[in-house]
Structure 1
Amino acid sequence: MDWQPIETAPKNGTSILLINRNGDIAAGLWLSDARGTGWFLSGGTKPAALFNNNQGPTHWMRLPAVPPLGTR
């Protein structure tokens, strides 16, 4: 899958890859709850500064499949 415009990203709690204008890439998800509203890094407890405000993500991509356990 190629990079998609951020406007088409899922906002249902699905973890995806995000890239911002600076070329920073991270796994994250959109949340809107008591912790805040915005792009959270996967496992984060507050909206990620690198992926919100003026540095917001420009594109997204689905995460790759996890390899089978026990392989190298």
Structure 2
Amino acid sequence: MESFSSYYNCWETVSAYRIRRDVLENWLRKLFGDDQIVVEESDDTLYGFWLTRSLSNDEKRMIRRDLPNVASL
């Protein structure tokens, strides 16, 4: 199992906006690159993501700010 030095967990926020998994993954990969994203699913309706590096406060704010727009894609 891969070990991660730092996590940013966004399960509750992602679930609240009901963002499709493929849309979320594409958006995150554009922002952070393929090697830094891990999207996990707990069941068919709940999933979230982990990043393999620490996020700055600005990046965290950007994610929270932009998730509602991503949900409308």
| TM-score exceeds 0.5 | no
Higher strand share: 1
Q: TM-score range by the shorter chain?
A: under 0.3
- TM-score by length of structure 2 reads 0.24
Larger Rg: 1
